[in-house]
Amino acid sequence: MNTLSTNPISSSHPGYILTIICPDCPGIVFAVSQFLYEQQCNIVDSAQYTDHFSGRFFMRIHFEQIEKPLQLTLVEENFSNIQNRFQMDAKFYDLQQKPRVLIMVSKFGHCLNDLLFRTKTGSLPIEIAGIGSNHHDFNDLAKSYQIPYHYFAITSANDGRKNDVEQQLLDLIDKEKIDLVVLARYMQILSPKLCEALAGKVINIHHSFLPSFKGAKPYLQAHQRGVKLIGATAHYVTTDLDEGPIIEQEVSRVNHSMTPDQLTAIGRDVESMALARAIQWQAEHRILLNGKSTVIFQ
């Protein structure tokens, strides 16, 4: 939808995003479109969805300012009347501000390495503010990308320190203004307290289609069961272990002739692809929570 204007629209700014969740009713799209027109904004693209089971309406609008940079705080204030009228959970985002991400990893570095490369080459719109781990294995990799590396001394042998270590993690997240924590094969279970403190801000990659083949050797289990598809699931972390809202799933077809090592290699590629897409959609504000599920505007 384009507003009529004799002034050229600047392409130097990537634009802004408005996301909306509210009870479904007539007039929402008209009210929002008219508001953006009155703010001298041009709608680049728009997507919407109504969940007839819950009666909720979801919308994502990518828009830009026609003549000059937008004062987003002022726009949010002006939007409050519409927000209250339709009982909206509405959020505005500036796409020029990339989310600051903390990547957590243990001893498997394929997802970490993939995310570092994608970010470095500009294909992933995030800023990696730090890498955290309960091991020292990827310190040199972090240095090669000039990214701070944070060691958290926690193992299954010293669970008594878990509360202290998790508080250190929370302090780091607060200090570095982290927007998103990514568990890139971080093999430690987050406590309910930490999950609640970071609700909606932690994405995990699980090495299977949930809930199949949980545990330390999923691809050996898959080989023993003769599976025909290798899968991976990216999901939000909640207090229910591996049961948070699913963001993305990826698969690859396999057969009986493949060894567990071959399945592992295929699985690592699948995990990397699913996690990267989930993070990209998060960074572009394409994911809206719908109870225990997600609405994703691609």
Residue by residue, pLDDT tens for the chain (298 residues) are: 443 333 444 557 899 999 999 999 999 999 999 999 999 999 999 999 999 999 999 999 999 998 777 899 999 999 999 999 999 999 999 999 999 999 999 999 999 999 999 999 999 999 999 999 999 999 999 999 999 999 998 766 555 678 889 999 999 999 999 999 999 999 999 999 999 999 999 999 998 765 566 667 777 877 777 778 888 999 999 998 888 899 999 999 999 999 999 999 999 999 999 999 999 999 999 999 999 899 999 9
pLDDT at site 227: 73
d(CA 73, CA 58): 22
pTM of the model: 0.89
- Count of CA atoms in the C-beta half-sphere (13 A) of 188: 28
Domains and CATH numbers, the chain: 16-94 (3.30.70.260), 100-296 (3.40.50.170)
Where does the chain show beta strands of DSSP type E?
A: 16-23, 41-51, 56-65, 89-94, 100-105, 127-133, 149-151, 180-183, 202-206, 229-236, 246-253, 287-290, 293-296
140 is catalytic: no
Tell me how far apart the alpha carbons of residues 265 and 261 are, in angstroms, rounded to a whole number: 6
Catalytic choice (159, 242, 261, 269): 242
Q: Report yes or no: 205 and 237 within 8 Å, Cβ to Cβ.
A: no
**Tokens found for residue 40:** 């001298």
As given in the structure block, the two tokens for residue 123 are 């294909």
DSSP 66: S
